[in-house]
C-alpha cells in the first residue's frame, strides 16, 4: 500500500476521485450544467453528473415517460410511466447524490428557456434527437459564449461533438444542405409545424447511450477543470466494428450562428409582469435617451391567423415553433388559415402594451432593443429568483 491510502478519508464521498492528480472536487461542486433532454442520453448524462458531485444541474424536457423508455433510462422506474421525464429524473438524481442541486424544467428548450440560464451555466450538454433543437441550442450558446457538448446515438453507434464559442467551428458550420432541407420541411406550407414530422423514434441500445453520455460528461469534466478540449471536432464511434475516429469541422465565416452578444445590462423586469412598453421605459432610463425603440424577437410570433375563405380571424400570440396544425385551421370553416407573423415590436405598436411573456419571451431571457444609440442587450433580472420557464 502506498502512503496515499493512509490519507484517504473514508467518510468523504469523493475521496477516491480526489486521488486523480488534477482533480478539484470544489470546481465540480461550484459548477452549473444545463442538460437539454432527459431521454436515453440525458439519463446517463445526469447520472454521471450526480456521481461526480456537480453542484447545480438544470434539466429541460417536456416529454412524459412511456413504457418503451424503461429499457434505456436508468433514472426511471415502471411506476413513473406518465410522469414528466425531467421531474422523475430529478427525483432519482437527488437520491443518488444529495450534494447535487437539480432543477427540473418541464419545458420546450426553444420557447420556454431564457437565454440568461444559458449564460449562467458553465457548459450545456445536448441530449437531443432533432436538428432543430440542436441548432437552437447552438445559437443560444454562441450568443452568450457558453460551450456545449452535443451527443447523438443510433442503434449501437454514436457521436460526440464539442463546440466552444466564439472561435471554434459550430454545429451550424457542419450543417449540410440536406440538414437545412429537413428543418425547413417542418415549417412547410402554411409555415406551421407539422406534428407528423417530429423526430425522435430512432432505435438505440442502452449500451451506446452509456458510452456516448460517458464521453460527453468526461468532456464537460475537462472543460470545468479548464483543461484543453478539442472543439469543432466530432468523435465518431462505430459500435459494430469498434472503430473510433475524429473528424474536424471547417469553420464557415458566413455561418448564421456566430453572433455573440455584448454583456447585457440587467434590469429589474419580469417577462410575466413587464410589458414591452415597460422594457422601453427601463432602457430609456438606464441609457438616458428619449427615442423610439424596437424589441427584436428571437422567436417569430404568430399574432393571429386569418381564413382566406370566410375571413375569420383568430388571435394566437404564440411563438411559431409551438403553433400546431390545429391552431392553424380556421375555427369557423376548418380551412387552413394564413398566419400573421412578426419578429419585432416597435414602441408605437399596439402590441407594445402586451407583457413580454405574451410576446413569446421566456423568463430570465436576454432581449435585444434597437435604439438610436445602437442595439442594447437586456437581461430580465426580475426573473432571477425564478429563472425557470413559462408555466406549463
Residue 133 Cβ vs Zn ion, minimum distance, rounded to whole Å: 16
100 binds Zn ion (CB under 5 A): no
Residue 101 Cβ vs Zn ion, minimum distance, rounded to whole Å: 33
Q: Based on CB atoms, which residue is closest to Zn ion, 285 or 311?
A: 311
377 binds Zn ion (CB under 5 A): no
Decide if 384 contacts 114 (C-beta within 8 A). no
256 binds Zn ion (CB under 5 A): no
Residue 19 Cβ vs Zn ion, minimum distance, rounded to whole Å: 40
Q: Based on CB atoms, which residue is closest to Zn ion, 198 or 256?
A: 256
Q: Based on CB atoms, which residue is closest to Zn ion, 123 or 173?
A: 173
Residue 51 Cβ vs Zn ion, minimum distance, rounded to whole Å: 33
**How far is 327 from 329, CA to CA, in rounded Å?**
5
Segment 281 to 340, residues that bind Zn ion, using CB under 5 A? 307, 309-310, 312, 330, 332-333, 335
Residue 170 Cβ vs Zn ion, minimum distance, rounded to whole Å: 3
Please identify, among the stretches 117-125, 163-171, 271-279, 378-386, the one whose residues bind Zn ion according to the rule CB under 5 A.
163-171
265 binds Zn ion (CB under 5 A): no
138 binds Zn ion (CB under 5 A): no
> Judging by DSSP bridges, how do beta strands 243-248 and 265-267 pair with one another?
unpaired
Q: Based on CB atoms, which residue is closest to Zn ion, 303 or 337?
A: 337
Residue 142 Cβ vs Zn ion, minimum distance, rounded to whole Å: 8
Q: Based on CB atoms, which residue is closest to Zn ion, 175 or 235?
A: 175
Q: Based on CB atoms, which residue is closest to Zn ion, 303 or 307?
A: 307
> In this structure, how many other beta carbons lie within 10 angstroms of the beta carbon of residue 22?
8
For residue 3, report the phi and psi dihedrals to the nearest 5 degrees.
Answer: -60, -30
145 binds Zn ion (CB under 5 A): no
Residue 4 Cβ vs Zn ion, minimum distance, rounded to whole Å: 45
179 binds Zn ion (CB under 5 A): no
Q: How many residues bind Zn ion (CB under 5 A)?
A: 13
270 binds Zn ion (CB under 5 A): no
Decide if 164 contacts 142 (C-beta within 8 A). no
Residue 141 Cβ vs Zn ion, minimum distance, rounded to whole Å: 11
137 binds Zn ion (CB under 5 A): no
Q: Based on CB atoms, which residue is closest to Zn ion, 99 or 327?
A: 327
Q: How many CA atoms lie within 13 A of 82 on its CB side?
A: 1
255 binds Zn ion (CB under 5 A): yes
Give the Cα-Cα-Cα angle 44, 48, 49 (nearest 5 degrees).
Answer: 115
> Judging by DSSP bridges, how do beta strands 157-163 and 233-238 pair with one another?
antiparallel
- For 20, 194, 252, 341, the CA distances from 177, given in Å and listed in that order, are 45, 20, 14, 25
Residue 308 Cβ vs Zn ion, minimum distance, rounded to whole Å: 8
**Single residue of 170, 192, 220, 367 touching Zn ion by CB under 5 A:** 170
Please identify, among the stretches 60-68, 159-167, 232-240, 253-261, the one whose residues bind Zn ion according to the rule CB under 5 A.
253-261
**How far is 58 from 261, CA to CA, in rounded Å?**
23
Residue 128 Cβ vs Zn ion, minimum distance, rounded to whole Å: 17
Identify the bridge partners of residue 77 per DSSP, sorted by sequence position: none
167 binds Zn ion (CB under 5 A): no
> In this structure, how many other beta carbons lie within 10 angstroms of the beta carbon of residue 53?
17
257 binds Zn ion (CB under 5 A): yes
Q: Based on CB atoms, which residue is closest to Zn ion, 170 or 215?
A: 170
Q: Is the peptide bond before 283 cis (omega within 30 degrees of 0)?
A: no
Q: Based on CB atoms, which residue is closest to Zn ion, 144 or 173?
A: 173
* Site of interaction with Zn ion (CB under 5 A): 170, 172-173, 255, 257, 307, 309-310, 312, 330, 332-333, 335
Amino acid at each position: 500500500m502506498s502512503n496515499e491510502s493512509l490519507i484517504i478519508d473514508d467518510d468523504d464521498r469523493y475521496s477516491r476521485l480526489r486521488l486523480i492528480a488534477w482533480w478539484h472536487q470544489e470546481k465540480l461542486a461550484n459548477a452549473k450544467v444545463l442538460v437539454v433532454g432527459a431521454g436515453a442520453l440525458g439519463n446517463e448524462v445526469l447520472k454521471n453528473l450526480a456521481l461526480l458531485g456537480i453542484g447545480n444541474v438544470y434539466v429541460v424536457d417536456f416529454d412524459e415517460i412511456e413504457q418503451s423508455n424503461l429499457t434505456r433510462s436508468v433514472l426511471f422506474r415502471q411506476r413513473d410511466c406518465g410522469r414528466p421525464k425531467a421531474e422523475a429524473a430529478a427525483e432519482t438524481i437527488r437520491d443518488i447524490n444529495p450534494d447535487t442541486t437539480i432543477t427540473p424544467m418541464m419545458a420546450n428548450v426553444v420557447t420556454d428557456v431564457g437565454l440568461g440560464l444559458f449564460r449562467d451555466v458553465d457548459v450545456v450538454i445536448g441530449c437531443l434527437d432533432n436538428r432543430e433543437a440542436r441548432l437552437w441550442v447552438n445559437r443560444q450558446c454562441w450568443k452568450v459564449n457558453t460551450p456545449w457538448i452535443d451527443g447523438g446515438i443510433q442503434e449501437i453507434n454514436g457521436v460526440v461533438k464539442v463546440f466552444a464559442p466564439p472561435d471554434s467551428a459550430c454545429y451550424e458550420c457542419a450543417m449540410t444542405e440536406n440538414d437545412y432541407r429537413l428543418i425547413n420541411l417542418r415549417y412547410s406550407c402554411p409555415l406551421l409545424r407539422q406534428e407528423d414530422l417530429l423526430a425522435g423514434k430512432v432505435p438505440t441500445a442502452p449500451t451506446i447511450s452509456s458510452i456516448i453520455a460517458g464521453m460527453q460528461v468526461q468532456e464537460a469534466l475537462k472543460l470545468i477543470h479548464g483543461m484543453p478540449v478539442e472543439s469543432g471536432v466530432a468523435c465518431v464511434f462505430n459500435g459494430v466494428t469498434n472503430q473510433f475516429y475524429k473528424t474536424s469541422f471547417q469553420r464557415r465565416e458566413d455561418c448564421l450562428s456566430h453572433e455573440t452578444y455584448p454583456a447585457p445590462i440587467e434590469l429589474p423586469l419580469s417577462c410575466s409582469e413587464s410589458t414591452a412598453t415597460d422594457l422601453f421605459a427601463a432602457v430609456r432610463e438606464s441609457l438616458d435617451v428619449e427615442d423610439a425603440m424596437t424589441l427584436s424577437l428571437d422567436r417569430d410570433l404568430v399574432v393571429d391567423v386569418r381564413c382566406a375563405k370566410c375571413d375569420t380571424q383568430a388571435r394566437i400570440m404564440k411563438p411559431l415553433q409551438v403553433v400546431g396544425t390545429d391552431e392553424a385551421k380556421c375555427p369557423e370553416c376548418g380551412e387552413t388559415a394564413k398566419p400573421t407573423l412578426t419578429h419585432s415590436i416597435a414602441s408605437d405598436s399596439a402590441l407594445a402594451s402586451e407583457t413580454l411573456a405574451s410576446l413569446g419571451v421566456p423568463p430570465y431571457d436576454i432581449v435585444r432593443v434597437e435604439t438610436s444609440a445602437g442595439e442594447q442587450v437586456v437581461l430580465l433580472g426580475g426573473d432571477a429568483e425564478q429563472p425557470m420557464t413559462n408555466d406549463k
